[in-house]
Amino acid sequence: MNFASIAFFAFFITVYGLYWALSRPWQNRLLLVASYIFYGAWDWKFLGLIGLSTILDFFLGKQMYAASDPKRRKSLLLVSLIINLGMLGVFKYFNFFAGSLVSLLTPLGLQPGWPLLNIVLPVGISFYTFQTLSYTIDIYRRKLAPTDKLEDFALFVSFFPQLVAGPIERASHFLPQLMSSRRLTFEQMSRGSFLILLGLFKKVAIADGLAQSVNAIYNVSAAGTVGTLDIILATYLFAIQVYCDFSGYSDIARGLAKLLGFDLMVNFDTPYFAVNPSDFWRRWHISLSTWLRDYLYIPLGGNRKDERTTYRNLILTMALGGLWHGAAWNFVYWGLYQGGILCVHRWVAGAKPSIRPAVTLTDKIRRACMIVGFFQITCYGWLLFRASSWSQIVAFSDRLFFHPTWSTPTIPTPSLAALAGIVLVLVVDLAHYLSGTSVFYRIWPIYRRAALYAALLVVLLMGLSNTGNTFIYFQF
């Protein structure tokens, strides 16, 4: 079920009506059943996978916490890592690595005969795998005590608002909420409703409205025939599309959770106002970037040793983070690119780069120039992310940097809703950035708040004419 669908609206209203009529234990049981129905609506056959991961990590966590022998605790953690990452590897990466190896060996005259797997990627497997692994790793580190109730842990893993595309929640943040009573407040209702409206506006009006224009350039078979302006425009539009698509999902997920009495972590914080790559990763997909930091970068050694080792850790972490996004080489290139610019920034800015507050007019102009400049660097990364092949990356890069052709753009004009939405989302994000809070609108006069709500709703309704698309991050 897609959030932006009548089917999901009917599903949520039904669950919501029953939810607040029940006590906490039965609320959790209702949400657990609803979450499995929600996930099973994509493909019921994959319910076994999420069930296996849940049961496995629940009992491994309890045994790990009770074990006093460090070797036994490490062995139990390895079982969790091997089985969870093994399932992720088989379903998501087996065909990718097998096919890549065939492509590598064929020019050498070798013809491996192993078959590829005819399987469908389970929706959201990357998200819930990382979520369950954070639980067992935190128990192993003695940072978390396991829950005694399987149904609470199962709901932590499968909570439907964030199951398919995050945020990737930590057990230390979310499990206590599941195990305590909750009540709906006016603040939760108003904030949750605004987040749902904002998320649907981003997805339906902007992301779906830009998809056709972006696809018209990035889906061409003869990449060498595409003009420079078309590449630039399509890449800028994709930067907006992927941001509105993914942050829109996160907004809706957080809004739905608030209506149910829960608080999910913030996943985006005006990322296109970042001034450098380190700042960007503090603002973009925060639940993933902090997961990679805590469970990969720091265990590798982080920046505790020499600079050369730190650069290696940055590159490896971001390359694996890129691969997490999908089983394709362009995601690996994107991850390597992100790791590379992080290393360059660290080398230029020093070991502890800081962002000075912009106080004077000169500081503000400098900050604005840094934002605009880094956005160009970010957008080239999105070219790598969106490209359909290495040959397209080479052809588009050649058009941009070595052999530009300034012919009249042929890219289809986005829908009116998307164009209006881009202006409006820029206003919203700018107000968020300048105020330093996502609830900037609460200090506005009532007439200005009403105008904002009306504008979001009107553009959302305009966007209903756009061709609907699944959320981009569903494939990850």
CB < 8 Å & 24+ apart, contacts of 79-88: 80/56, 80/132, 80/133, 80/136, 81/133, 81/136, 83/53, 83/56, 84/53, 84/56, 84/57, 84/129, 84/132, 84/133, 85/129, 85/133, 87/49, 87/52, 87/53, 87/125, 87/129, 88/125, 88/126, 88/129
- What are the C-alpha distances in Å from 74 to residues 137, 139, 142? 10, 11, 12
> For residue 317, which of 338, 287, 348 has the smallest C-alpha distance?
338
CB 54 within 8 A of CB 157: yes
Per-residue burial over 98-109, b = 16 or more CB atoms within 10 Å of its CB, e = otherwise = eeeeeeeeeeee
Give the residue numbers annotated as catalytic, written as ranges. 325
Q: CA triplet 385, 389, 391: central angle to 5 degrees?
A: 120
- What does the block give as tokens for 38? 């929600």
